[in-house]
Amino acid sequence: MKDVFERMQEIIAEQFSVEPDEITMDTDFEGDLGADSVDLVQLVMSMEEEFEIGEVREEELAALSTVGDCVNFLNSKLDN
């Protein structure tokens, strides 16, 4: 099974029309990818579906500004 980062790379690459290898743990959704709030909601919905983590709460979403934030968040959810 692919690790969380590789799966996130694929989701982000598809949603933002970038190459997966351009995405790093430090990639910032707003600064590097130009994401707006709608993009972030769509990304979270994709994460919820891909990783079967249930609904991400709004306060959790506010803390997710980089790919690394999402990977760490997902790892903590998947470990529980």
Residues assigned a catalytic role:
36
Return the exposure string of 39-70: e unless at least 16 CB atoms fall within 10 Å of the residue's CB, then b: bbeebbebbeeebebeebeeeeeeebebbbeb
